Amino acid sequence: MIELDDPLWADLSHCYGSGNDIPPKLRHIETATSLSEAFWDDLCNLLCHQCTVGTASVAAFPHLVAIAARNTDNRKGFDAIKLASIILSYTIGPKNKVPRMDTVLRGPFRDAITVGRDAIRAMLFQKKRDFRQTMDFLSVIAAFDSHVDAALLLVEFRDGHFDCPECGKRLGVDELYTI
């Protein structure tokens, strides 16, 4: 895993430029007691904009998984593993927009997948979840089990709708078996 103070971050990139601004955000996750949805949305936008990830996203992935593994009993841990699953989905996913991973990035990325699976198991029975949270959780499980298409579809279900792959029509999840 690339340490947060490693100058290599400046040579990595995310969707909007240099990865130099990612270590402070990862440090902030570590130290904050609670983080707003806007913080997570902004970080997700940097690391996973329009189904694209960069080398800084790949380098951030093991850090997010480690944060999740240390926080399996709270919201911070779930939000970290959820963002990690999005990075994972777009890295190995159907668009095949994998950034070049040299050995510095590849090993920690692969190792973090195993750590992420263990963190998910630890989170599994933590609390009851509403429909939206359940879809998020199932999406995370699918991503870490390399079922990227299912992971991305479950994210659509989370919002109570999906786009029909046959006709393109936006349907409510309650219409799933009516077409």
Q: For 91-141, how does the pLDDT look when each residue is reduced to its tens digit (9 = 90+)?
A: 876 554 555 666 778 889 889 999 999 998 888 877 777 777 888 888 888
CA angle 69/52/29 to nearest 5° reads 30
Higher pLDDT residue, 108 or 152? 108
pLDDT higher than 60, residue 69: yes
Higher pLDDT residue, 82 or 50? 82
pLDDT higher than 70, residue 177: no
Q: Is the pTM of this model over 0.95?
A: no
Percent of the chain with pLDDT strictly greater than 70: 87
Say if CB 149 and CB 130 are below 8 A apart: no
Say if CB 9 and CB 56 are below 8 A apart: yes
